[in-house]
Amino acid sequence: MPSYQIHDKINIALLVLILPALIYLNVDFVTVFIFALSFTFGTFFLSPDLDINSKIFKRWKLLRIFWCPYKEIFSHRQLSHHPIFGPVSLICYLFALVILVLYVVNADITRVDIRLLIIIAGMVCAIEAHIVTDLVSGIKKKKGKK
């Protein structure tokens, strides 16, 4: 399994490749900026490795307590690392926490902004990059053992 440093480096390299492509495709600056921020957040704080006591888990500092149920529910490298269920579970879990906090502070949660989709896209891309990296490293290890 690649270390968190490898995951971080691969994701940032991927972002460095994606950003010029988005600019080349004439995506507006605000969208590119939001995508870059959410991708970076996804890389450093929303990895499938939240299913163990990982560096990503520790980056949440005191807030990591909110990820303890996720860690208990998902066993390592199982559903949290599934290409579809992994991002869905992480993002749904995060949004459930955010909605809970917004509800507690009595904020208006009835309006959904289109930028939310860009935020989700950025986080999903970062999570998928992690899953693909784990998958490729697993395939390489299997080949190396033969």
User: Which tokens belong to 9?
Assistant: 């480096």
Please list every residue from 84 through 143 that binds Zn ion, using CB under 5 A: 134
Distance (Å, whole) CA 6 – CA 128: 15
CA-CA distances (angstroms) from residue 6 to 44, 47, 129? Answer: 12, 13, 11
On whether the CB atoms of residues 67 and 97 are closer than 8 A, the answer is no
Q: Could you tell me the smallest distance in angstroms from the CB atom of residue 2 to Zn ion? A: 8
Size of the site for Zn ion (CB under 5 A): 3
Distance (Å, whole) CA 65 – CA 42: 18
CB under 5 A: which stretch of 9-17, 42-50, 88-96, 97-105 binds Zn ion? 42-50
Tell me whether residue 22 or residue 91 sits nearer to Zn ion (CB atom). 91
Figure out which of the listed residues 49, 87, 122, 125 binds Zn ion, where binding follows CB under 5 A.
49
Q: Dmax over Cα atoms in the chain, in whole Å?
A: 58
Tell me whether residue 31 or residue 70 sits nearer to Zn ion (CB atom). 70
Residue 51 binding Zn ion, by CB under 5 A: no
Tell me whether residue 128 or residue 134 sits nearer to Zn ion (CB atom). 134
Rule CB under 5 A: which residues touch Zn ion?
A: 48-49, 134
